[in-house]
Structure 1
């Protein structure tokens, strides 16, 4: 009997039968052809890998019906027949991998950027600027709306010609159709505005037109946020909207949350609870009689099983869980949940999309599914990996998969490196799941793991290692400040790992991610926290989506923040700093925490150069950066060992 029988029951959405209840929710990858907006082999490989890994239904990211509505220089287009062949190739790859595939059809509306769409001014139901862009927006005329409807219908015809099993109409996250539905952004006084009935008019007309053109048998669903924050659409309004959309001809609803104006609700980070949207989704399900697709921090198979078994939704969206591990479905089906690489909720994937293309902290294969090939090594070697953090473990896993005999040695008695301290601040515990899964993988592959041993040159000389991988990580930079060696001074890592303890009044030197998260951790215990940062702002390396929340929380907790502040001296119970040429003192200080950046620990790497062995330096030992870059360096440097 299957461990998760309800997840793996087939389901019909209209005429389309999906083999299980798992779907990949739509999220931009920016894997399209740059400025050409056609799908690429890279995009096809990404989606096909998720289908091959057991995801029953793939929903391709938003692709737009007009060039004016683009979301990225690499976003997908549907406004010309020229796009059909590329989409057909992508569809074929997903079908060959055993999945069903639909595409999300939409328009970014007021949230587009002119640099993305060829310099065209954004349009929307009303001239309400985007929350983040604060841009100039033109209000659509009635003639514009008629053109938009025609273009939308023609785009969906192209989807059907390309072989998609259905389409999803994008009615959420503050983009064009969502802007019509929300009184926050729709200020029109004609038939397309005003009351909820008026705001519903355009989405309903589009559904009816598309249904008439594509036929009763072609599956059509829509994505809809359960609610919007900050004066947007309420849950009760959404229940009315959902019922009306279904009656207009939908076969299903894909329910998300939030909008582009509240990005953390749209893409919930780790400080949101699991299945954080389910109470709202369940109420919407009670209002309609079509399958409900649910998403929002559904990361664990046992949770997905429970939601389906209890009838709270009909399908579970694994979006970022599916990014982190494309074989989420296959592993859940086999009961091998220990090997699932969990999404850790860091939302670095969104930073990557906005700066180029989708990547994942825990999965360095994202976007390289056809590029990274792990093949058996021609010559099997003895490999010594020094360092048991995430990069050292990943190095050991890669080498073991290629058939090498691998020994990993960690100086501490606990694996994980700085992940152990990174997992301590509020809502960051999921980071530790990476080490748990990597350790499971490494042990399963036969890696010999030794802890509590410090590797030096003599250790390497006396080992049978043919090649050595140095993944010794990084350490805190100790700034040259008078008094830095006083007993009250400690590093953030030592504090978070419980090696040292803070008093009541704490000065944190450095306002980067480590400094901010340490401040949050201590402030939640009621301590009085001061952050001193040399730059003009704090949180420079916090991820885009959680950054506003973290900074707002520091403010709510009463953390005092001083930017452009240079610490000049630490005395027995005070910290002296300069700001704009003036000297200031924080009195009655119990503890000073150093969080002013990290530097590589690479002394061993330098010492090993004297040996007649190939030495490979990876991760922070080579270049200090985030975990995402460290894991990527493993596959950049070690694939040919």
Structure 2
């Protein structure tokens, strides 16, 4: 459009060093897009770690993580088409293995299909676009809407199986956890179950913050509208204000729900978020009047709401729904009875915290090791 004389790229080259070459050759659909997460680049830098990239674990490790042709091609089944499974399948195929990937859902993506619903995380669509194209280029056989059993795998010709079946939300032992007003985060983000106007979110990790962000918004997210986004953060796009910000009052749309974000720990809510992005998430929720509370001890859930003590003081939160974001457990039932050599990756391996950075790196490395 002639909007710029020069374009500067930094993080996008970590995501894909061939960005410019692919664009120049008309292969934009093959570009691995930076999702702006900072998790493996800036967060690593400010923690004294080697820089890399969540969507491209080979960044800065190109001489260590090598994708080379194998001398022993195998038939490989990858079960689960989330981030870990997609990384494993595409990498194994690039190494020369014959790969088939299975998923019980109707589209690839796994937990990324949940995350992309959250305002500000729309770039996850781009990561799935990239992996979808890589599956095509690597000639990976994709079988969606397909739930595989151990018996079927045992009777197959596969030499090895990579299990990337993900996680299931953990439900804490709170009295009344089976009350109708209790939902888990998948109920909200994936299955779109109705949520009332007053909500308590139990668990203030990354998922709890994402769910809270999702609940206070309605309509098109400001992250998809530059003018609205700048107004929300108090930036004067006309540059009449000094520095574009002096004296500019943020214009934040009213939240559509009254949300409590709760955690058991007595530390600052959101202390475990990204080093360079945690403050953004906290500031965003604060602007939406989300009440972030620590040192919570949950007693029970009933028709009155959520009974708890905060710093030892008894309270009842009169809420329409209680949404559980209190961790997850690995889904690895497929291992029982499986006689083929197998590898657990992603959430099926470790589900302590949903970690796409670890999942994609692990999937890549396991595929190279076959």
Write the deviation string for residues 149-171 of structure 1: whole angstroms up to 9, x where unpaired.
Answer: xxxxxxxxxxxxxxxxxxxxxxx
Alpha-carbon contact 1:418-1:493 (below 8 Å) kept: no
**Residue 435 of structure 1 aligns with which residue?**
128
Aligned pairs (5 A) from 1:246-257? none
Where in structure 1 do 4 or more consecutive aligned residues deviate above 6 Å?
none
Does 2:18 align with 1:327? yes
Measure, in 1, the Cα distance between the counterparts of 2:308 and 2:156. Answer: 50
1:80-108 deviations in whole A, cap 9, x for unaligned? xxxxxxxxxxxxxxxxxxxxxxxxxxxxx
Q: Pick the aligned partner of 1:444 from 100, 121, 137.
A: 137
SS of 1:549 mapped into structure 2: helix
Distance apart, 1:390 and its partner CA? 1.1
TM-score normalised to structure 1 length: 0.50
* TM-superposed deviation, 1:561: 1.8
- Offset at 1:549? 2.0
- Contact 1:513–1:540 (CA<8 Å) still a contact in 2? no
Structure 1 contact 472–601 (Cα < 8 Å) conserved: yes
Alpha-carbon RMSD across the aligned residues, in angstroms, is: 1.5
Residue 603 of structure 1 corresponds to which residue in structure 2?
333
**Structure possessing the higher radius of gyration over alpha carbons:** 1
Q: Is it true that 1:629 corresponds to 2:331 in the alignment?
A: no
Which of residues 321, 331, 341 is equivalent to 1:614? 341
Larger relative contact order, structure 1 or 2 (CA cutoff 8 Å, min sep 6): 2
Deviation at 1:571, TM superposition (A): 0.6
Quick check: 1:530–1:560 contact (8 Å CA) kept in 2? yes
Matched, 1:378 2:71: yes
Matched, 1:350 2:81: no
> Match for residue 303 of structure 2?
572
Cα distance, 1:494 vs. partner?
2.3
> Equivalents in 2 of 1:386, 1:485: separation in Å?
31
Contact 1:532 1:566 in 2 (8 A): no
2:232 pairs with 1:539: no
Q: Deviations over 1:111-133 (max 9, x none)?
A: xxxxxxxxxxxxxxxxxxxxxxx
Shift of residue 352 of structure 1? 1.3
Match of 1:318 in 2: 9
Normalised by the length of structure 2, the TM-score is 0.85
Residue 606 of structure 1, CA deviation: 4.4
Contact 1:385 1:396 in 2 (8 A): yes
Is there any run of 5+ residues in structure 2 with no aligned partner, and where?
Answer: 219-255
Residue aligned with 2:194, SS: coil
SS of residue paired to 2:93: helix
Matched, 1:528 2:221: no
Compute the displacement of 1:631 (Å): 1.1
3-state SS, counterpart of residue 429 of structure 1: coil
Does residue 1:417 correspond to 2:110, yes or no? yes
Contact between 1:385 and 1:409, CA under 8 Å: does it hold in 2?
yes
Is the CA contact (8 Å cut-off) linking 2:151 and 2:337 kept in structure 1? no
1:591: which partner in 2?
Answer: 321
- C-alpha deviation, 1:592, in angstroms: 1.1
Q: Distance in 2 between matches of 1:446 and 1:460?
A: 21
